[in-house]
Amino acid sequence: MAPHQAAGEPSAYASAPSYDDGRLNAPAALRNRDALTAALSQVAPPSGRALEIASGTGQHVIRYAPAMPGLQWHPTDPDPVRRASISAWIAAEPSPNIAPPQDLDACAPGWAAQHDPYALICLANLLHLVPKEAARTCLTEMAHALRPGGRAVVYGPFLRDGKTTSEGDAAFDARIRVENPGAGYKDVTWVLDQWRRAGLEPATPQDMPANNLLLTAGKPPRTT
């Protein structure tokens, strides 16, 4: 069966149906989900509502939910095929704290105002696939959608001081820019600056496997 590939999605991230029930399998998600779940568990609030942006196949959220049972998880994706896969993964590996997937384009302005505040908002492997203005909108809306004391988390590959950190990253970044003009790796300093401008307080980036980073930022608690 031919791989399903979303518009603007580099072929390296294509995912193919592997099951008769609609579940999609993304090799990248299988490779990184254990390390990502462990890292996310260390920075996530103990309770509250958690929004997963661009949930993709659903292979991340089914690991997050049992690892962080105090959070009520809300997976989202703008692609109906992906949402069907998320639903299928939830049915195959259910957790009581995962809500049905919802349609959300996190790079569109104004979505934060339509949501109740979240304790945690997380995003994996999206920012390098979208243009800079779309990434700026996503980061700003994440900040606006957090409750006081909440945390934003972004995982993926980034530029450091304007440069990639390996030949493989340089090749992948170049490939993205060819396949989706305007997209490409974002500099980690630029990402953290967007959060600061939106009122968040970034933490020190955390190194992850395969030259990826985990970026986190907190929304200051409400003062009385």
Q: Are 223 and 175 in contact (CB under 8 A)?
A: no
Q: Give SS3 for 147.
A: strand
Q: How many Cβ atoms sit within 10 Å of the Cβ of residue 176?
A: 23
pLDDT tens-place string over residues 164-204: 999 999 999 999 999 999 999 999 999 999 999 999 999 99
Q: How much is the pLDDT for 19? A: 84
Residue % of the chain over a pLDDT of 70: 92
Angle at 216 between CA 119 and CA 224, to 5 degrees: 50
pLDDT tens-place string over residues 58-94: 999 999 999 999 999 999 999 999 999 999 999 999 9
Q: Which of 21-30, 78-87, 137-146, 157-166 has the lowest mean pLDDT?
A: 21-30
pLDDT of 224 above 70: no
| The CATH number of domain 20-218, selected from 3.40.50.150, 3.40.190.10, 3.10.180.10, 2.40.40.20 | 3.40.50.150
Q: Is 57 exposed, middle or buried (0-12, 13-18, 19+ CB in 10 A)?
A: buried
Q: Are 31 and 212 in contact (CB under 8 A)?
A: no
pLDDT tens-place string over residues 152-174: 999 999 999 999 999 999 999 99
